[in-house]
C-alpha cells in the first residue's frame, strides 16, 4: 500500500466498539474491495460477521485506506470497568 504512517483508534460509542484504521498509502480501489479473490479482505469480513460486527473498507486514490469495524457490545454482559469509563480506549500512530 506504500503507506508511511498508520493510525489505529479503538473507541466505545453507542453500545459498540469501533476500530478505525487509517493509512496514508495509495488507497484501495473499489475493484480491489469487491474482488472475490481478495482472500485477506474476505477473511476480515468473515471474522467481523462471526461476532456480529460490520466491516467497511474505503480508499481514496493517493490519500490512503480506511478500515472501520463496529462490534456491538452485548448489553447483557458487563464490560470491564476501565472500558466502560473510557470513551477512547486506545490511539496509536505508527510511523
DSSP SS3 for 21:
strand
What pLDDT shows up at residue 14?
84
Grid coordinates belonging to 68:
472501520
Q: Model's pTM, two decimal places?
A: 0.72
The pLDDT tens digits of the residues spanning 26-57 come to 999 999 998 988 998 889 999 999 999 999 99
Compute the Cα dihedral for 40, 43, 49, 50 and give only its sign.
negative
Q: 66 burial class (0-12, 13-18, 19+ CB within 10 angstroms)? A: middle
The pLDDT tens digits of the residues spanning 61-76 come to 989 999 999 999 876 5
Amino acid at each position: 500500500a506504500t503507506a508511511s504512517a498508520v493510525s489505529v483508534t479503538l473507541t466505545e460509542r453507542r453500545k459498540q466498539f469501533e476500530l478505525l484504521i487509517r493509512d496514508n498509502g495509495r488507497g484501495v480501489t473499489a475493484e480491489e474491495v469487491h474482488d472475490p479473490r481478495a482472500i485477506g479482505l474476505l477473511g476480515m469480513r468473515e471474522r467481523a460477521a462471526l461476532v456480529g460486527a460490520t466491516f467497511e473498507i474505503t480508499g481514496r486514490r493517493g490519500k490512503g485506506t480506511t478500515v472501520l469495524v463496529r462490534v456491538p457490545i452485548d448489553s447483557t454482559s458487563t464490560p470491564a470497568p476501565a472500558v466502560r469509563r473510557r470513551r477512547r480506549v486506545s490511539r496509536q500512530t505508527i510511523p
